[in-house]
Amino acid sequence: MNNKNLEQLLDINKLLSTTPPPNIHSVRAYVLNINISDIFSITFDTPYETLPTLTKIDNTSEKILHLQYSHLTSAVIFSNGDCLLNSISLIFNANQTLALQFRLAMIVELIKFSDFYLSQKIFKEDYYFSDAALNSVKNSDMPITYNKEREYIGKIAYMSKPHRFCLIIGLYDLASDKKLRNHPKVGKIITRNEVQCKCKKIIKLHHAYNPKNLEKYNQTSNCLLTKGIRSLTSYFTNFTKSKQFSCIGLRDKEHLKYLQRIGGIIYYGGAPCIEVLAKELFPKKFDKDFNWKRLTNNEKNKLENELTARAKWRNDFNSNCI
């Protein structure tokens, strides 16, 4: 646990819990100098795609996991009030030690950009934040800017204590920021509503962190990334044109019968068994049974490429030929 982060979190909670409670402007000014990127000592470029070594599989959750997510594995998470944050920590750090940092980052995010969050549907449709509920309790001690400002600050005060339930909306926007940073055409994020394209043009976004306007701009001739850029080979003329014929494959009755018997399972004929190849390429992972789930995307590609390289023929089930 990071003592500095814990101290920052408790100081924010102390401010939010004062009587009368502060208004949104003073709270925002208080966290202005806290940089979210400074809270973490890790990067978020490569989340873990396989189950960390010391993490156990949640067998109960596996049984009720929707078929849509059958390719995923459920992990056992500490049920100490930080379940959601422990899960995020496990994905990016292979352990559950960063829950406190994620809580602090989420609280700072919700406070810094309160204008954006107070305009979300949850604060318009949920009864707790509805006008009917708010009008039932009168409190004139606190000068407010937004109709639902009191309740918003109250919720954040509750979440700013360790091991308290937290709204997923704060983490959602943190993730949106990371997603926009990784956009192939984004050169720099100026604000949540404005970015600089890699062609140096400033683009105003459709919504916060929504790249729709940027992608529209990238498709126009105004974007230097698409205007006037030609590949090097386009400056050369190819004078030799030869006729090319595609191989139609083996498709006699015997061949079709063979394809029917293997039933769309074996794509690479004459290659070693996939279990044998997997144990050969990744001996530390498969000392016993083979399982696709234990491979990362890069390892799956490597195994597929090795199958292709060692195959003597390929079974094309779409074209019914070998």
Q: Which residue has the higher pLDDT, 105 or 208?
A: 105
pLDDT (0 to 100) of residue 264: 54
Cα dihedral 70, 75, 79, 85 in deg (nearest 10): -90
Q: What are phi and psi of 9, to 5 degrees?
A: -65, -45
* Contact call for residues 94 and 51 (beta carbons, < 8 A): no
Residues 266-305 have pLDDT tens digits of: 667 777 777 788 888 888 887 777 777 778 888 888 888 8
List residues bridging with 196 in a β-sheet: 188, 202
Residue partners of 20: CB distance under 8 A and separation at least 6: 141, 142
Q: Residue 313 belongs to what H/E stretch?
A: strand 313-314
pTM score, whole prediction: 0.50
pLDDT in tens, 230-275: 545 555 555 555 555 556 667 777 777 777 766 656 667 777 777 7
Structure tokens at 193: 């509503």
Amino acid letter for position 189: I
Q: Is the pLDDT of residue 126 over 60?
A: no
CA distance linking residue 119 with residue 212, whole number of Å: 20
Residue 316 per-residue DSSP state = B
